[in-house]
Amino acid sequence: MTKGGKTVFDPVHGSVKVSGLQLELLDRHEMQRLRYVRQLDMGYLVFPGANHTRFEHCLGTFHLAGRMADALELTGTEKAEVVTAGLLHDISHAPLSHTLEELIVERTGKDHMSMAREIVMGRTQTFRERDADLFGGTCSIAEAIADAGLDPGRVCDIIEHPRSRSPSAGWRSHFSPEDLLHQIIHGPIDADQMDYLLRDAHYTGVKWGAIDVERILDTIGVCNNRLVIDRGGTVAAEGLMMARSMMYSAVYYHLTVRIFKMMLVKAVECSAVDLGAVHTWNDADLFDALVAEGGRPSLLARSVMSRRPYKTALTLRSEETDEETAAMLARYTPYGSRRALEEELAGKLGLDVSEVIVDMPSEAAMLSKARIGKTDVAVLDGNGRVRPLTRLSSVAKGLQSRDPFGWKLSIAVPAGHEERAAAAARRILSL
């Protein structure tokens, strides 16, 4: 215990001090649920140590956001807002983190960031009915934030999106103070990604997540309310870009992990699970509901739990896919189009649609479009000009154009159907 707060011992950052409003929020039921939501969803089935949670990650993001705020010499109110946003930024994640997000957006129209606003502002139920005896009558998070003298709406803006930057404003646009705080949580160099890269590398045992956090903190600054890094920090910024790119290849888009994720999606698709309420569930709640339902949802959930994945029938590697083929495949990246392709394949194979997985990266990744918002770091050169890192570093330029996923299409089916599935897919897609 420290004066006015507590010290939490974190395996990644060491001693993390929490006090005041943030300590109060940390102990709320909405945050405690995250102790039982895995950070890397199905990653534990491939990387046995990957059992860390969204709770740990939120604590780490809070810690790094505070260190960034100190490095930038933000006001007391600005720091309080940004660390609160860092702590709460993943509060609405469904069971198994991003696994169900595409399906949730398809059916409810809300992603986890917009749902975070609903939870913080008290506009939606934040606990399961079974827990009404524990949490009924609890004030909303917004009320707790307001009682501490902060604006809950501004905290939500930092979590969800920058309010004043026009998408067409271009690279030299000026940012509002709210945008600066948002960049600390969601930007080219932010507390969120620095924590998850370090944390995910630590727990998976993969060595690609090393980041020189100290050098980044020593060289970050602000220019026109834009988060920038001094020219002397370019090597550390290159390292951050390298870590992100390699972790996507080695961990986040690992093909076996993706198969398990898509099997869980299939289980939920054919179940009676209410996706409008899963933000109150944890991982065990989801598995229990699917198993209890019986039928295909139960079979798929139990197959995942027993580590019995579908088998890969066809994989198109990035280096094997020309631009014309990538453009054709991009038409299937929307959820509905990909689902229709699965149904067509299932019909030709005599399988249920829950037995056919078609997986691919996003349209932008499929077409190798640069993701400027997450890859191009603003660098303040010796002449006081702000320039993109990709113009100063051939390493950064190469990483920006690198395909971190390594594949464009993956089709998986139950064992014994691989050859027929591959042949059918090649005919349908004219591969």
Look at residue 372 in the predicted model and tell me its pLDDT. Answer: 38
CA distance 122 to 143: 9
Look at residue 177 in the predicted model and tell me its pLDDT. Answer: 54
Per-residue pLDDT of the chain (431 residues; tens, 9 = 90+): 455 799 999 999 999 999 999 999 999 999 999 999 999 999 999 999 999 999 999 999 999 999 999 999 999 999 999 999 999 999 999 999 999 999 999 999 988 888 999 999 999 999 999 999 999 999 999 999 999 999 999 999 999 865 433 333 343 344 455 688 999 999 889 999 999 999 999 999 998 888 999 999 999 999 888 899 999 999 999 999 999 989 999 999 999 999 999 999 999 999 999 999 999 999 999 999 999 999 999 999 999 999 999 999 999 998 888 999 999 999 999 999 999 999 999 999 999 999 999 999 888 777 765 443 455 788 988 788 898 888 888 888 888 778 888 899 999 999 999 999 999 999 999 98
CB neighbour list of residue 177: distance below 8 Å, 6 or more residues apart: 78, 225
Look at residue 377 in the predicted model and tell me its pLDDT. Answer: 87
* Domain residue limits, the chain: 5-254, 257-366+406-429
DSSP result, 105-174: HHHHS--HHHHHHHHHTT-S--S-GGGHHHHTTPPPHHHHHHHTT--HHHHHHHHH--SS--TTS-TT--
CA distance 329 to 249: 20
* CA 121 to centroid of chain Cα atoms: 22
Look at residue 319 in the predicted model and tell me its pLDDT. Answer: 87
DSSP H stretches of helix in 231-376? 234-247, 255-269, 283-293, 295-305, 323-330, 335-349, 363-366, 372-375
The model's pTM is: 0.92
Query: Do residues 234 and 379 lie in contact, with contact meaning Cβ atoms separated by under 8 Å?
Result: yes
Which amino acid does the sequence have at 428?
I
Query: Do residues 290 and 96 lie in contact, with contact meaning Cβ atoms separated by under 8 Å?
Result: no
Best CATH choice for the domain 5-254 from the list 3.40.50.720, 3.40.720.10, 1.10.3210.10, 1.10.8.350? 1.10.3210.10
Closest CA to 256 of 133, 150, 71, 412: 412
Query: Do residues 17 and 62 lie in contact, with contact meaning Cβ atoms separated by under 8 Å?
Result: no
DSSP result, 291-318: HHH-HHHHHHHHHHHTT-PPEEEEEEEG
Look at residue 111 in the predicted model and tell me its pLDDT. Answer: 86
Look at residue 166 in the predicted model and tell me its pLDDT. Answer: 38
CA distance 402 to 370: 9
Q: What is the 8-class DSSP label of residue 99?
A: G
Which amino acid does the sequence have at 235?
V
Look at residue 176 in the predicted model and tell me its pLDDT. Answer: 57
Instruction: Tell me which residue has tokens 């004066």.
Output: 3
So what's the architecture of 257-366+406-429 in CATH? Up-down Bundle (1.20)
Structure token digits, residue 331: 């038409």
Query: Do residues 412 and 360 lie in contact, with contact meaning Cβ atoms separated by under 8 Å?
Result: no
Q: 257-366+406-429: same fold as 5-254?
A: no
CA distance 362 to 323: 15
